[in-house]
């Protein structure tokens, strides 16, 4: 039996994200999907959430925003939302606002261990049934040189990434000295966790509305 048959779901799958890294990871494991980025206003996130609750809240509401649009159009799909944050102690490091902010983030992460959290949510646009979860990975940076940070930020690559670095296909990979946990979680989508939930969720819903 080809493994692609394990990735067939009763409804079309939509990725509620414009992240090329998440798209690449889904294609890597043979998932068929389309992209419809969410326009959820992240300023609406409650301020009293824990970091894990923060990424799950964003993942769920990104999926929910797209699922609601589909429902209003009478379209049925499974919607996958995701959000990644870098956590240093209790401080959340999201995408840098400018080049100097990116340099500051990288100097802060230098020679320290940080946590990468990714929340995922899967929602049925017909019923609003959903599952939400998160994954945690510990990442250690070696001691970074100032010229390395400056050169990396000058490429522009860190500007669309939580924590101002990418571990995949990117110079940011040479900053990482140790990983404890799911590598793909650091890229932006914990594949094993997502696969298990997609399989379980897909089996639990009918292919047509009764």
Q: What is the DSSP string of 85-126?
A: EEEETTEEE-S-SSHHHHHHHHHHHTTSEEEEEEEEEEEETT
CB burial string 33-42: b at 16+ within 10 A, e below: beebebebee
For the question of residue 182 being annotated catalytic, the response is no
Q: Is the dihedral of CA 88, 143, 99, 158 positive or negative?
A: negative
| CB 98 within 8 Å of CB 70 | no
Nearest C-alpha neighbor of 54 from the set 79, 85, 81, 80 = 85
- Residue 124, Cβ density class (10 Å: 0-12 exposed, 13-18 middle, ≥19 buried): buried
Question: Which of 43, 69, 83, 170 does the annotation list as catalytic?
Answer: 83
Q: Which two tokens stand for residue 192?
A: 């094993």
| CB 100 within 8 Å of CB 130 | no
* Catalytic residue annotation: 83
């Amino acid at each position: 039996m080809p493994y692609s048959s394990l990735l067939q779901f009763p409804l079309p799958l939509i990725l509620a994200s414009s992240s090329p890294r998440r798209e690449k990871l889904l294609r890597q494991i043979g998932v068929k999907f389309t992209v419809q980025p969410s326009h959820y206003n992240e300023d609406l996130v409650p301020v009293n959430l824990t970091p894990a609750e923060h990424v799950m809240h964003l993942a769920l509401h990104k999926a929910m925003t797209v699922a609601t649009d589909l429902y209003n159009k009478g379209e049925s799909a499974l919607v996958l939302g995701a959000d990644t944050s870098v956590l240093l102690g209790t401080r959340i490091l999201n995408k840098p606002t400018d080049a100097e902010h990116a340099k500051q983030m990288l100097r802060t992460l230098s020679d320290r261990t940080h946590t990468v959290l990714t929340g995922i949510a899967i929602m049925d646009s017909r019923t609003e049934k959903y599952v939400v979860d998160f994954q945690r990975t510990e990442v250690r940076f070696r001691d970074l040189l100032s010229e390395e940070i400056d050169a990396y930020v000058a490429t522009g690559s860190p500007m669309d990434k939580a924590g101002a670095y990418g571990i995949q296909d990117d110079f940011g990979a040479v900053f990482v000295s140790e990983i404890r946990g799911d590598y793909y979680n650091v890229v932006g989508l914990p594949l094993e966790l997502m696969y298990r939930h997609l399989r379980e969720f897909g089996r639990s819903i009918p292919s047509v509305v009764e």
